[in-house]
Amino acid sequence: MGDGKDNYRDEIFSLPVRAGKRTYFFDVKATRANDLYLTVTESKKKFNADGGFYFEKHKVFLYKEDFEKFAEGLNIAVAKINELKESGEYEVKEGEGYERRNYNNENGYSSDVDFDNLG
C-alpha cells in the first residue's frame, strides 16, 4: 500500500461544527470495500490541574444501513425536547439540568431501555 490511495479513500469528507464549548466533527469515510460510513465525534477542551489542556473526544460510528433509523430517532428526540420545553412539562433551572414535571410515557416512548433486548 504506501501509495496514499488507501488514505485518500478513507477520508472522503469532513465537516467541523462549533457549538458553544464543543466541536462536532461529521466525517464521511470509506471502508476498504468502498462502503461509506459516518463518524460523529464530539470534542471538548478540558484543563489539567497544572493548567495544561487536552481534548476529550467521544465518537459514534454510523453505517449506511443505520442512517435512516438514526436520523429518524434524532428528529423524534429533538421534536420531543422542543415539545416539552413549549409545554412546560420540563423546566430548566439555572446551572442545572431539566426538572421533570408530570411527565409519563403513555405516548409510546420509553426511557427504560433494556439493552439486552435491542436488535
pLDDT digits (tens, 9 = 90+) for 25-68: 999 999 888 899 999 999 999 999 999 999 999 999 999 999 99
The C-alpha cell at 69 is 433509523
User: 88 — phi, psi (to 5°)?
Assistant: 80, 10
H-helix or E-strand spanning residue 118: none
Residue 102 and residue 92: Cα distance in Å, rounded? 15
Output the pTM of the full model. 0.63
SS (H, E, C) 7-69: HHHHEEEEEEEEECCEEEEEEEEECCCCCEEEEEEEEEEEECCCCCEEEEEEEEEEEHHHHHH
- Alpha-carbon distances, residue 25 vs 31, 56, 58 (angstroms): 18, 13, 10
pLDDT at 50: 92
Domain 5-103 falls in which CATH fold? Nuclear Transport Factor 2; Chain: A, (3.10.450)
Residue 77, pLDDT > 90, answer: yes
Res 3 pLDDT > 90: no
Q: How far, in Å, CA of 9 to CA of 30, rounded?
A: 6
Domain boundaries, the chain: 5-103
- How far is residue 97 from each of residues 16, 48, 100, measured CA to CA in Å? 26, 25, 10
